[in-house]
A and B are shown apart, each in its own frame.
Chain A
Amino acid sequence: MSFVNYNTKEVNCKIVYYGPGLGGKTTNIQYVYKKTSGENKSDVISLNTENERTIFFDFLPLELGEIRGYKTRFHLYTVPGQAFYEASRKLILRGVDGIIFVADSQIEKMDANIKSLEALETDLKEQGYDINKVPIVVQWNKRDLPNIASIKDMEAQLNKKNYPSHEAIAMEGVGVFETLKSISKLVLMNLKGGLN
């Protein structure tokens, strides 16, 4: 759950990058980090295996500007994609305000995408969320590769609920901020609190 502090006029939101292993979640966060400037810049925290596969999470606190007088801070997390790390993946979803589902566009990854989407639904349910109420946006990543599924196919198989979707080449930064802005808008509009 987001946290609104009326005294200091701050909002904190938690955004989780979810998706199959090697789909590009960590790459998204690293790009955001690279493009962030300012004195408040924090390092990315990565809990990795030796070969840089995410074992627990990556974390990047992001100080944004103000919206209607409220200072805005986003906490970006990625989950480990591999089935093996199911237990730690579930923990990350605790308190989530919005999800970016990073799908791997390569044709042979379609099954992995579908399985991951199903896992997302189960994980959210277990944390007490209604998947229809959590803001979600989808990113079609790795659009630079030759062996990719068409957007039409991906939409048909992975986006039956018509979430906002964005094409991306996370490695080059293409679509990274578009996706993040898209979820930011949904998350902020979903914030409960009432201005009094």
Chain B
Amino acid sequence: MDYVDFFKSELKSSDLNSKIQKIALFVIRLDGVVLYSNEVKPLDKSKESIGALAAGLWQAAELSNNYLETKSRDFRLSFDTSDGGVYLLPLNLNGDIHLFGAMIQDQLNLGQIKNLLRRLRDKVEDNCINKNESGEDEYLFNDITDEEVDNLFSFVGK
């Protein structure tokens, strides 16, 4: 099953569902591209920036941790108070590591929410394949003209 479909169906049945209006969820590639968002407003509008920041945060934390000798496999990254904040988990889809990110607001029991998020992550890892990579070797666009490039930038105020 594709993880996007899985997220949608799983969220409906999860205990998270009743609280989900206040939790924005993202699947983020380590280069910052957001692959999935549950479209919680108004955060969804800023998802590009959230993706870039989350990927940077995670990688910086990972490199910092490399200075330690003790290594654990199951990292989580939190920036939160007792009722909300940012929570990042690694998400392994067939060997590709992505991030499962949550932006959480107004919760009474954040620990419980985080636990539910980890369980959701585990379920996704067990049930999903990563079918977004095309594996194609051909070029998507052949020759591109200068005119086509100019058109792309037509929004630019002169």
What is A's interface to B at a CB cutoff of 8 Å? Answer: 1, 3-6, 11-12, 14, 35-38, 42-43, 45, 47, 56-57, 59, 61, 63-68, 70, 72-73, 75, 77, 87-88, 91-92, 94-96, 177, 180-181, 184-185, 188-196
Q: Is there an interface contact between B156 and A59, defined as CB atoms closer than 8 Å?
A: no
Q: Identify the closest chain A residue to B148 (Cβ).
A: A67
- Interface code B43-70, partner A: CB below 8 Å = 1, 0 otherwise? 0001011001101100110010000000
Interface: B32 (CB within 8 A): yes
The CA-CA distance from A11 to B132 in the complex, in Å, is 12
Q: Is there an interface contact between B149 and A191, defined as CB atoms closer than 8 Å?
A: no
Give the residue among B31, B49, B136 with the most A Cβ atoms within 10 A. B31
Stretch in contact with the other chain, from B6-14, B83-91, B115-123, B138-146: B138-146
Q: Is there an interface contact between B151 and A192, defined as CB atoms closer than 8 Å?
A: no
Categorize the interface residue count of chain B. Answer: 35 or more
The CA-CA distance from A14 to B46 in the complex, in Å, is 17
Q: Is there an interface contact between B156 and A36, defined as CB atoms closer than 8 Å?
A: yes
Q: Is there an interface contact between A189 and B48, defined as CB atoms closer than 8 Å?
A: no
What is B's interface to A at a CB cutoff of 8 Å? Answer: 29-33, 35, 46, 48-49, 52-53, 55-56, 59-60, 63, 132, 134, 136-144, 146, 148-157
A residues in contact with B134, CB < 8 Å: 4, 6, 192-194
Can you show 8 pairs from A to B with CB atoms below 8 A apart?
A: A3-B35, A12-B33, A35-B157, A45-B53, A91-B56, A94-B31, A180-B153, A185-B149
In the assembled complex, the CB of B40 is this many whole angstroms from the nearest CB of chain A, namely 17
Q: Identify the closest chain B residue to A1 (Cβ).
A: B31
What are the 10 tightest A-B residue pairs by CB atom distance, in nearest-first order?
Answer: A95-B31, A194-B138, A61-B48, A193-B140, A194-B136, A191-B140, A64-B152, A59-B52, A91-B59, A65-B152
In the assembled complex, the CB of A196 is this many whole angstroms from the nearest CB of chain B, namely 8
Q: Which of B32, B35, B137, B152 contacts A95 (CB 8 A)?
A: B32
Contact status of A94 and B152, CB under 8 A, knowing A12-B33, A189-B144, A191-B141 = no
